[in-house]
Chains A and B, each alone.
Chain A
């Protein structure tokens, strides 16, 4: 009986527990099923959203690709347009006056000069057209005329130089004819009025009849050229060697000026050479330096017995907007009848500075120039002084790279005469 009671109690207990626990379990199960469903729905939602994002990214990628393609096409079109514009520009330039065979260039100037020493107070002008004719790629004929106003009369035209140039190689050219004397730098490269920074020439490089020490031209043939030194752009070696009619003087007197030697007065010839070096490449950042040495020698008298020998050195250093240059030359002319040699020497040093960085309109077009020059010789012809010295100060106003208005003050201080002043102004045009 006890056993039955115990079994009944146990069954009741079990039933109670089952009644108490089972609904809770069933509820929990249902809750869990609901959460799972929620999670699944969320997951599904996420998948849908991911798919939508993927499609959107694909769409954006396609748009980007189309845009890149369009940009590339635009770039190509722009490049083509620039190229076409360049071609048109070249064609337009080619249509401008001038051809690849003949060209007129040159320079001219108008000048006013007041000089205490020479008692001058006058205007003057000159025109120097340079004719360039290039019949073939390697051949050039060049000639310069000088049309000047003489003291009296209408005008005076002379042949400054006329030479044929033939290119033999990258480092060698032959030039023949009436040529500028390859002695130093001033004669060949600096004397044109639009290049010379002062109105006047340095004393030793005046025209011979004005007291200068060298003729500006010789008649002969030369081999000249330049070569790169190989360690940077612009580092070069240059040379000129020549044979010509040689020197000739106005008279046998000591101090006589040079005369033209168009038809050689003797059977001897004149010989000369110049060597120059530019050791600093243009990208060195140290500026530009040019050094040169020249010589010119020849028999000067009709009998061909007496020599003129000469040599000179020249240098220029340029750094940015500043420049210093100078030349020295020495001549010795053997005289007949055991007379002492006719020795002559001359020099100049010139400095210039551009005010282009000053940042003030008009003032930034100015260039200041100062030069000291002098020469010594045993005697000079006429009223010329054998020992002239000169300080020259100038202000240049550059209207364009080849058009300049110069104002110059000179203080002449000859060794054997009193000091004097000169003022001159010049408008020079290179064309």
Chain B
């Protein structure tokens, strides 16, 4: 087998192994990502009634679609000077509720 072909096969093998490792890492990271998302939603649930209710009655999640909440929360973030982290938590909560 020519050297170049062996080199190409070795490179392909290394790429496959690396890809497999990366995919495995990503899968292993899923529970962490899920836990972080859950924590974000929990924080959003805490903030939603108090932060939104600071000026007006907090509106129900079912009033708008997930896509609409994207826009509304950005609008309210400007109006209420919400920190980005809090706005994202409230948005996730409203989308998942």
Contacts and interface: CB of A to CB of B under 8 A. Distances in A.
A283 B57 contact: no
A258 interface: no
A134 B71 contact: yes
B56 interface: yes
Contacts of A402: 56-57, 59, 63
Interface string B18-47: 000000000000000000000000010011
B82 A234 contact: no
B27 to A, nearest CB: 17
B57 A401 contact: yes
B79 A189 contact: yes
A167 B57 contact: no
A234 B50 contact: yes
B9 interface: no
A398 interface: yes
A171 B46 contact: no
A266 interface: no
Contacts of A175: 78
B54 A318 contact: yes
B53 A103 contact: no
Contacts of B2: none
A98 B64 contact: yes
Contacts of B67: 93-94, 96, 98-100
Contact of A167 (B43, B66, B79, B84): B84
A233 B58 contact: no
- Band of interface residues on A: 35 or more
B51 A234 contact: yes
A268 to B, nearest CB: 27
B56 A276 contact: no
B55 interface: yes
Interface stretch (A114-122, A221-229, A306-314): A221-229
B68 A239 contact: no
Given A140-B75, A170-B83, A239-B81, A288 B68 contact: no
A289 to B, nearest CB: 10
Contacts of A140: 71, 74-75, 78
3 A-B pairs with least C-beta separation: A170-B84, A238-B81, A401-B57
Interface of A: 86, 90, 93-103, 105, 130, 132, 134, 140, 142, 165, 167, 169-171, 173, 175, 185, 188-190, 192, 194-195, 224-228, 233-234, 236, 238-240, 276, 278, 282-283, 288, 290, 316, 318, 398, 401-402, 430
13 contacts: A95-B65, A96-B67, A167-B74, A171-B83, A195-B56, A228-B86, A233-B86, A234-B50, A276-B81, A282-B46, A288-B50, A316-B54, A402-B63
